[in-house]
Structure 1
Amino acid sequence: MKHVLVVDDEHKILEVVTALFESKGFKVFAASDGHKAMEISGRENLSLIVLDLMLPDISGEEVCRRIRQHSRVPVIMLTAKVEEEDLLHGFATGADDYITKPFSLKELFARAEALLRRSAPDLVPLTVRNSWRNGELFADFEQGIVRKNGVEVALTASEMKILAALVKYSGKVFTRGELINIALGDGFDGYDRAVDSHIKNLRQKIENDPKTPVYIRTVHRLGYKFGGEDET
Structure 2
Amino acid sequence: MNKETILIVDDEKEIRDLVEIYLRNEGYQTLIAGTGLEAMKLIEEQKIDLIILDVMMPVVNGIDACIHIREKHNIPIIMLSAKVEDIDKILGLSVGADDYLTKPFNPLELIARVKAQLRRFTKLNTSYNNGKYLEEEGLKLDLETGKVYKNEVEVGLTPTELSILRLLWSNKGIVFKIETIYERVWEQEYFENNNTVMVHIRKLREKIEDNPRTPQYIFTVWGVGYKFGE
TM range (shorter): 0.5 to 0.7
Residue 87 in structure 1 maps to residue 94 in structure 2? no
Runs of 4+ in 1 over 2 A off after TM superposition: 120-125
Taking the aligned partners of 2:112 and 2:12, their CA distance within structure 1 comes to 22
Measured at CA, do residues 2 and 143 of structure 1 come closer, stay the same or move farther in structure 2, by a change above 3 Å?
A: closer
Larger Rg: 1
Relative to structure 2, which stretch is displaced further, 103-112 or 114-123? 114-123
- Residues 74-122 of structure 1 deviation map (CA, whole Å, 9 limit, x = unaligned): 1110001111111111111100111110010100001111111111453
One-letter amino acid of the counterpart of residue 60, structure 1 = G
Measured at CA, do residues 52 and 124 of structure 1 come closer, stay the same or move farther in structure 2, by a change above 3 Å?
A: farther
Q: Secondary structure at the match of 2:27?
A: coil
Measured at CA, do residues 98 and 142 of structure 1 come closer, stay the same or move farther in structure 2, by a change above 3 Å?
A: same
Q: Which residue of 2 aligns with 1:114?
A: 116
One-letter amino acid of the counterpart of residue 84, structure 1 = D
User: How far off its partner does 1:63 sit?
Assistant: 0.4
Unaligned runs of 5+ in 2: 129-141, 147-230
Taking the aligned partners of 1:3 and 1:111, their CA distance within structure 2 comes to 15
Residue 64 in structure 1 maps to residue 66 in structure 2? yes
- Residues 169-190 of structure 1 deviation map (CA, whole Å, 9 limit, x = unaligned): xxxxxxxxxxxxxxxxxxxxxx
Q: Secondary structure at the match of 2:110?
A: helix
Taking the aligned partners of 2:93 and 2:127, their CA distance within structure 1 comes to 21
Q: Secondary structure at the match of 2:32?
A: strand
One-letter amino acid of the counterpart of residue 66, structure 2 = C
Q: Which residue of 1 aligns with 2:6?
A: 4
Counterparts of residues 99-138 of structure 1 (less than 5 Å): 99-121=101-123, 122=125
User: How far off its partner does 1:29 sit?
Assistant: 0.3
One-letter amino acid of the counterpart of residue 57, structure 1 = V
Taking the aligned partners of 2:52 and 2:16, their CA distance within structure 1 comes to 10
Unaligned runs of 5+ in 1: 126-139, 145-232
> Among 13, 17, 20, which residue is 2:19 paired with?
17
Residue 39 in structure 1 maps to residue 29 in structure 2? no
Q: Secondary structure at the match of 1:28?
A: strand
Q: Percent identity over the alignment? A: 40
Measured at CA, do residues 124 and 43 of structure 1 come closer, stay the same or move farther in structure 2, by a change above 3 Å?
A: farther
Q: Which residue of 2 aligns with 1:195?
A: none
Taking the aligned partners of 1:61 and 1:11, their CA distance within structure 2 comes to 20
Alignment coverage as a number of residue pairs: 130
Taking the aligned partners of 1:71 and 1:120, their CA distance within structure 2 comes to 15
One-letter amino acid of the counterpart of residue 10, structure 2 = D
Taking the aligned partners of 1:91 and 1:71, their CA distance within structure 2 comes to 16
- Residues 166-212 of structure 1 deviation map (CA, whole Å, 9 limit, x = unaligned): xxxxxxxxxxxxxxxxxxxxxxxxxxxxxxxxxxxxxxxxxxxxxxx
Measured at CA, do residues 143 and 39 of structure 1 come closer, stay the same or move farther in structure 2, by a change above 3 Å?
A: closer
TM-score normalised by L of structure 1: 0.53
Taking the aligned partners of 2:39 and 2:33, their CA distance within structure 1 comes to 6
Counterparts of residues 1-232 of structure 1 (less than 5 Å): 1-121=3-123, 122=125, 142=144
User: How far off its partner does 1:124 sit?
Assistant: 10
Taking the aligned partners of 2:59 and 2:90, their CA distance within structure 1 comes to 22
Taking the aligned partners of 2:117 and 2:21, their CA distance within structure 1 comes to 19
Q: Secondary structure at the match of 1:9?
A: coil
What is the aligned-residue RMSD (CA, Å)? 2.2
One-letter amino acid of the counterpart of residue 51, structure 1 = L
